[in-house]
């Protein structure tokens, strides 16, 4: 993950959230607000995907190649937890 790229995306998302807040305060049409919320959620999901991919290519690979069995199990359990949490949303 390029931290700079992720940071820019998060700043953009921050702006979108502020825009949604203004829409709600101004009494914007509900469906328009929902569409903006959905777009923001999709953007957050993309950043989450970027972070997870970086984690898989760095921390997980290091743990899997390492000799510490407990560390391997811990890292794999984390991935399973993140996946389970994502499925609940």
pLDDT digits (tens, 9 = 90+) for 26-47: 999 999 999 999 999 999 999 9
Domains recognised in the chain with CATH numbers: 3-88 (1.20.58.1000)
How distant, in Å, are the alpha carbons of 29, 37, 70, 72 from that of 3?
A: 35, 24, 29, 25
pLDDT band at 7 (very low <50, low <70, confident <90, very high): very high
Query: What DSSP assignment string belongs to 34-63?
Result: HHHHHHHHHHHHHHHHHHHHHHIIIIIHHH
């Amino acid at each position: 993950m390029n931290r700079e790229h992720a940071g820019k995306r998060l700043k953009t998302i921050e702006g979108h959230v502020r825009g949604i807040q203004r829409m709600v305060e101004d009494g914007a049409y509900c469906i328009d607000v929902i569409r903006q919320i959905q777009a923001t959620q999709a953007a957050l999901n993309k950043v989450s995907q970027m972070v997870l991919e970086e984690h898989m290519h760095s921390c997980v690979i290091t743990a899997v190649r390492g000799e510490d069995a407990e560390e391997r199990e811990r890292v794999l359990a984390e991935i399973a937890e993140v996946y389970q949490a994502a499925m609940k949303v």
